[in-house]
């Protein structure tokens, strides 16, 4: 009898190496430098690579960012890579480097633990996978959060002490340079500041000044493009008068770090003659008065915005915002524009946010004339009489007049009738013939084959064959009596390939080069190419064979019955 012995594998099974990454962060709050960050990155890179059982997965480092997690790009990238399975272990120096918000810390660590990623905190000697890891994290993270709050309060105290001494917190301002004690004028930039103020008092908008500065090649303080937002900030900054208003805003929460305007919650400090002025106080006050006047006028104060008598007066009854004017050409060959008014919320965010109905401008003008008792709409009379028009529901406009009266007016849209002119209808018909919508019978030949007798486009007909396949023919419409036999589609492809000098038929080449095919007769086709040339091709349809004998008819009938029976059974099974 044969004897069989099992030979055990002798090759050792190598353990799977863990993919290890590290996270490092330095904060500006404690004065840490870039050297500190590079030292952390260098340390962790060497430390991970000295462990043979580990596979280096990188070091993620954020520079000069607070301990909250919202703005740390590298920290976010670390979490994304953990989710993608690229990391098994995360090393970090301490809990405060990872997060100072207890809630954020626990949520992040729990999420990583759920996906099998371990976090090790070096200073606290905590492993997130250990039994008491979460308890220790909760306690120590609370201390880290309190440390962050304490540090924030100390920083705030130092800043407010400087305010009391008349020292600003921000030292970067266009037109000046800080010399350690006070602001010193930068002559070239001061000229631009004066130009901005002068333009505004001449009636120019911030957008117009933005275009002018771009044409002049003027750059902002950071070397970028001078935006209209920066221009508006310069117009409102009192420091250009040689005075300073300190503590205009404050950080309310040390976790979110969001700046809140100081509306009386904290004291403010007005420092007079703190530095040399670029703009005199009288000019600055004139600019502030003009800003207030333009704010009251709204969009009408900005000449770069096209306005009409309806601007800011048509209000949405659903969301309360103003309607906006938009228009489109009635045809490509016409200069006429068809205007409609639509809710801005609907226009920006879609129907899901606001379902208010659009109103054609002609309908709006007609409704206004009817309410005001005018034969024709008059813009000046409308502005004089009407305070606002509220679009209520689908068919009602509510007019609020300056005398306090409220008048409802029903309306019905004629937009389709106004837009659907004979010219637009003809243009649409021509486009549809050239660009038919996709369906089962639409091919590259659709709209391109026409009959010389009835001048109609040939249509695609499909009929089943005994073999189960489908046969496609192109024929004139049924109501015509042209006497043309159907063009078999495969034959049509062969002839087209011959005309285009290609080995196999290609729909893309056909659409690109062939403009139309005219069926001249039962033996002749005329190809009109898009380059202007014409090519005539002969074709011959297959005539019916001599009449079938009774025996052949019987055999064919049996074949058809068998084919139909098989198809019926298959459909029944399905």
What mean pLDDT do residues 158-171 have? 72
Angle of CA points 531, 534, 536, to nearest 5°: 150
How far, rounded to the nearest angstrom, does the alpha carbon of residue 551 sit from its chain's CA centroid? 71
- Which of 150, 185, 219 is the last residue in one of the domains? 150
Tell me, yes or no, whether 26 and 145 share the same domain: yes
Which among 190, 187, 223, 225 is positioned nearest to 209, based on CA atoms? 225
pLDDT of residue 146: 67
Tell me, yes or no, whether 528 and 566 share the same domain: no
**339/97: higher pLDDT:** 339
The CATH number given to whatever domain includes residue 259 is: 3.90.1750.20
- Which of 274, 301, 328 is the last residue in one of the domains? 301
What mean pLDDT do residues 153-172 have? 73
Is-contact 128 113, C-beta < 8 A? yes
- Say if residue 35's pLDDT is above 60: no
pLDDT of residue 30: 43
Instruction: Give 231-243 pLDDT, tens digit per residue.
Output: 888 998 888 888 8
Q: Which range is least confidently modeled, 206-210, 461-465, 507-511?
A: 461-465
Instruction: Give 61-97 pLDDT, tens digit per residue.
Output: 887 655 455 568 888 899 999 999 999 999 988 877 7
pTM above 0.85, yes or no: no
- Say if residue 541's pLDDT is above 70: no
Tell me, yes or no, whether 130 and 191 share the same domain: no
Share the mean pLDDT of the chain: 79
Tell me, yes or no, whether 205 and 91 share the same domain: no
Instruction: Give 434-493 pLDDT, tens digit per residue.
Output: 655 545 567 888 888 888 887 788 888 877 655 556 778 888 877 667 767 678 888 888
Tell me, yes or no, whether 490 and 568 share the same domain: no
Tell me, yes or no, whether 411 and 470 share the same domain: no
- Say if residue 208's pLDDT is above 80: yes
Which among 26, 22, 80, 24 is positioned nearest to 51, based on CA atoms? 22
Q: Domain for residue 165, yes or no?
A: no
Instruction: For residue 306, count other CB atoms closer than 10 A to its CB.
Output: 9
pLDDT of residue 431: 62
For the chain, what is the domain count? 5
Tell me, yes or no, whether 25 and 136 share the same domain: yes
Q: Domain for residue 424, yes or no?
A: no
Task: Report the b/e string of 444-466 with b at 16+ CB within 10 A.
Answer: bbbbbbbbeebeebbebeeeeee
**519/144: higher pLDDT:** 519
- Say if residue 15's pLDDT is above 70: no
**284/485: higher pLDDT:** 284
Tell me, yes or no, whether 363 and 477 share the same domain: no
* Among 105-109, 136-140, 510-514, 560-564, the range of highest mean pLDDT: 510-514
pLDDT of residue 179: 83
How far, rounded to the nearest angstrom, does the alpha carbon of residue 151 sit from its chain's CA centroid? 40
Print the domain residue range for 260. 176-301
Q: Domain for residue 33, yes or no?
A: yes
Q: Which residues pair with residue 525 across a beta bridge?
A: 519, 537
Instruction: Give 212-255 pLDDT, tens digit per residue.
Output: 999 998 888 878 888 888 888 899 888 888 888 887 776 766 55
pLDDT of residue 89: 92
Tell me, yes or no, whether 184 and 294 share the same domain: yes
Cα–Cα dist 121/128, whole Å = 8
- Say if residue 29's pLDDT is above 80: no
- Which of 362, 396, 419 is the last residue in one of the domains? 419
Q: Domain for residue 434, yes or no?
A: no
Tell me, yes or no, whether 319 and 222 share the same domain: no
Please name the residue that has the structure tokens 């029976």.
565
Tell me, yes or no, whether 22 and 142 share the same domain: yes
Q: Which residues pair with residue 536 across a beta bridge?
A: 526
Q: Domain for residue 255, yes or no?
A: yes
Q: Considering Cα of 271, then 275, then 280, then 285, what sign does the dihedral take?
A: negative
- Say if residue 280's pLDDT is above 70: yes
Q: Domain for residue 408, yes or no?
A: yes
Q: Domain for residue 245, yes or no?
A: yes
Q: Domain for residue 341, yes or no?
A: yes
Tell me, yes or no, whether 290 and 238 share the same domain: yes
- Say if residue 334's pLDDT is above 60: no
How would residue 32 be classed by pLDDT, with cut points 50, 70 and 90? very low
DSSP 287-339: HHHHHHHHHHHGGGG-TTS---TTTTTEEETTT-PBEEEEEEES-TT---EEE
- Say if residue 269's pLDDT is above 50: yes
Q: Which range is least confidently modeled, 190-199, 399-408, 474-483, 510-519?
A: 474-483
How would residue 347 be classed by pLDDT, with cut points 50, 70 and 90? confident
Is-contact 175 186, C-beta < 8 A? yes
Q: What percent of the chain has pLDDT over 90?
A: 6
* Chain length of the chain: 574
């Amino acid at each position: 009898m044969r004897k069989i012995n099992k030979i055990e594998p002798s090759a050792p099974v190598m353990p799977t190496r863990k993919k290890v990454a590290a996270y490092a962060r330095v904060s500006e709050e404690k004065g840490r430098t870039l050297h500190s960050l590079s030292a952390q990155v260098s340390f962790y890179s060497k430390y991970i690579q000295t462990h043979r059982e580990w596979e280096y997965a990188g070091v993620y480092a954020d520079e000069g960012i607070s301990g909250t997690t919202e703005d740390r790009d590298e920290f976010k990238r670390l979490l994304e890579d953990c989710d993608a399975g690229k990391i098994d272990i995360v090393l970090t120096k301490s809990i405060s480097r990872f997060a100072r918000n207890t809630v954020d810390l626990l949520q992040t660590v729990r999420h990583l633990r759920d996906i099998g990623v371990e976090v090790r905190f070096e200073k606290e000697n905590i492993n997130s996978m250990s039994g008491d890891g979460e308890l220790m994290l909760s306690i120590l993270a609370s201390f880290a959060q309190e440390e962050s709050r304490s540090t924030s309060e100390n920083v705030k105290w130092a800043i407010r002490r400087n305010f009391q001494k008349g020292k600003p917190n921000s030292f970067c301002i266009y037109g000046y340079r800080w010399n350690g004690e006070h602001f010193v004028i930068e002559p070239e930039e001061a000229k631009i500041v004066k130009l901005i103020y002068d333009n505004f008092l001449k009636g120019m908008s911030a957008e117009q000044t933005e275009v002018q500065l771009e044409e002049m090649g003027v750059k902002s303080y950071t070397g970028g493009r001078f935006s209209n937002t920066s221009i508006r900030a310069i117009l409102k900054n009192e420091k250009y008068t040689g005075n300073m208003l300190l503590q205009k805003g404050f950080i309310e929460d040390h976790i979110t770090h969001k700046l809140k305007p100081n509306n009386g919650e904290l004291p403010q400090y007005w420092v007079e003659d703190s530095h040399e002025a670029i703009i005199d106080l009288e000019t600055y006050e004139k600019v502030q008065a003009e800003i207030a006047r333009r704010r009251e006028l709204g969009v009408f104060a900005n000449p770069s915005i096209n306005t009409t008598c309806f601007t800011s007066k048509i209000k949405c009854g659903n969301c309360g915002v103003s309607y906006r004017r938009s228009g489109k050409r009635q045809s490509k060959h016409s200069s006429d524009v068809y205007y409609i008014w639509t809710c801005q919320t609907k226009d920006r965010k879609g129907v899901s946010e606001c379902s208010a109905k659009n109103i054609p401008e002609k309908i709006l003008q007609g409704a206004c004339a009817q309410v005001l008792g005018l034969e024709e709409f008059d813009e000046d009379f409308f502005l004089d009489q009407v305070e606002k028009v509220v679009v209520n529901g689908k068919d009602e406009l509510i007019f609020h007049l300056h005398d306090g009266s409220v008048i409802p007016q029903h309306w019905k849209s004629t937009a389709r009738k106004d837009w659907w002119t004979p010219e637009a209808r003809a243009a649409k018909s021509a486009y549809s013939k050239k660009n038919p919508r996709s369906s089962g019978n639409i091919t590259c030949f659709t709209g391109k084959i026409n009959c010389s007798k009835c001048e109609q486009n040939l249509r695609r007909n499909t009929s089943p064959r005994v073999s189960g396949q489908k046969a496609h023919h192109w024929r004139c419409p049924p109501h015509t009596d042209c006497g043309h036999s159907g063009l078999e589609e495969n034959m049509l492809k062969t002839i087209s390939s011959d005309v285009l000098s290609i080995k196999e038929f290609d729909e893309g080449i056909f659409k690109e080069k062939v403009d139309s095919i005219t069926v001249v007769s039962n033996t002749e086709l005329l190809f009109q190419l898009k380059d202007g040339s014409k090519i005539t091709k002969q074709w011959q349809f297959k005539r019916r064979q001599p009449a079938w004998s009774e025996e052949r008819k019987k055999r064919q009938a049996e074949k058809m019955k068998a084919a139909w029976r098989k198809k019926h059974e298959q459909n029944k099974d399905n």
